[in-house]
Amino acid sequence: MKKKILILVLILTLAITSSAFAVDVKINEVDVQYNNDSGFPFIDKQGRTQVPLRATMESFGATVEWDQASLTATVEKDGISVKVPIGKSIIYIDGVEVANDTVAQIKENRTYLPIRVVLESFGYTVSWENNNVVATIAEESVLKSELAKKIIEETSNKIIHAISNKDSELISEFVHPVKGVRFTPYTYVSIENDIVFNQEEINNFFNDQAVYTWGSYDGKGDNILLTSNQYYDKFIYTADFINAEVIGYNEVLSRGNMTENQFEVYKNAIVVEYYFSGFNPDFAGIDWQSLRLVFEQYEGDWKLVGIIHNQWTI
């Protein structure tokens, strides 16, 4: 997975006349400009870095809204929405409640956010270099597994059951209305060769008698010429995935010989993998199977954009 690196440097200097710390913030090697109007960063009683809401988040490339009635800040970036209520040890990431070890606060009539928990909500990992107080933020392009599970588990359960029951009408309700859903027979997502069906085509999926070219068979290289029903049997529901041995959320459970590129093709996605490690002991695990459902956000909802089949390849 390609990673884009941002550097957040927090330089803490001990004030001569007090035990408080002043904090300078640098994002992408550019100093965030603070003044008396915006307010200045500081370290709170829990030892967490609090930063002025708007100046910091807009420098981060996010949009910011403030709801005075509920005293809640909303930060949005890359299709992810983070709500931070003042004075509460929780935040909401795409509507999912997540615990926080400190609280956002209002100080001298200015709104301050805990920088670590907010940045981590956008898929960044913050690490400190011992006492140098330097944080390196690496954009992972994916939500952490625990959070991804909280967000998508209910939706993915509905879809995997609909797939097992060949309920094309229900499946189509979850398909991305603009991008449709892309079918990948062998792990590597090919924008050029994979077939994409729209909502209407998914609704008619199991009644469609047309033969499509779905890509090429591994090893032989022959075209995969199948009807939708035939493709379903060979490259979608190849095992009882509703009772999968393991279910992974934004984590790769199965690896073959093909390149993993799902998170490069599907930006800011949630990928749910249903995995079996093998069925016949004589095959020493090379008969493993998995099915991956890929979701991207659309107007506040998570929509199905990809179905990836995975198995051992030559």
Query: β-pairing, 289-298 with 181-184?
Result: unpaired
Q: What are the structure tokens assigned to 191, written together?
A: 């924008």
225 pairs with which residues across the strands? Answer: 213
Cα 160 from Cα 166, distance rounded (Å):
10
Q: What is the mean pLDDT of residues 103-122?
A: 86
Q: Please state which of the four CATH numbers 3.10.129, 3.10.450, 3.30.720, 2.60.40 is assigned to the domain occupying 145-311.
A: 3.10.450
- Each domain of the chain, given as residue ranges in start order, spans 4-139, 145-311
Residue 206: which residues within 8 A CB-CB, separation 6 or more? 166, 168, 228, 229, 232
Q: Which of 1-15, 68-82, 230-244, 286-300 has the lowest mean pLDDT?
A: 1-15
* Residue whose structure tokens are 């499509």: 212
Question: Distance between CA 50 and CA 64 in Å, rounded?
Answer: 16
Helix (H) or strand (E) holding 124: strand 124-128
113-131: pLDDT as tens digits: 888 888 777 766 655 544 3
Give the pairing type, strands 49-52 and 72-77: unpaired
Check: CB of residue 6 under 8 Å from CB of residue 124. Answer: yes
Q: Residue 144: pLDDT band by 50, 70, 90 thresholds?
A: confident
Whether 119 contacts 56, CB under 8 Å: no
What pLDDT, in 10s, does the model give residues 1-45? 444 445 455 544 433 333 345 567 766 566 788 888 899 888 888
Burial of 205 (0-12, 13-18, 19+ CB in 10 A): buried
The dihedral sign for the CA sequence 23, 52, 94, 71: positive
Q: Which of 96-105, 167-176, 245-254, 262-271 ranks highest by mean pLDDT?
A: 167-176
Residues 306 and 262: their CA atoms lie apart, in Å, by 9
Q: Is the pLDDT of residue 174 over 90?
A: yes
The residue whose two tokens read 């931070």 is 84
Amino acid at 244: A
Q: Give the span between the Cα atoms of 155 and 295, in whole angstroms.
A: 10
pLDDT of residue 204: 96
Look at residue 270 and give its three-state secondary structure: strand
Which residue shows structure tokens 């090429």?
Answer: 216
The arithmetic mean of pLDDT across residues 195-206, rounded, is 97
- Give just the sign of the alpha carbon dihedral 229, 231, 236, 239: positive
Which among 1-5, 32-36, 105-109, 181-185 has the top mean pLDDT?
181-185
What is the reported pTM? 0.68
CA distance 64 to 146: 25
**What single DSSP character describes residue 158?**
H
CA dihedral 194, 197, 202, 207 (to 10 degrees): -80
Q: What sign does the dihedral 161-166-171-177 (CA atoms) show?
A: positive
Whether the per-residue pLDDT at 133 is higher than 50: the answer is: no
Classify 4-139 by CATH class. alpha beta
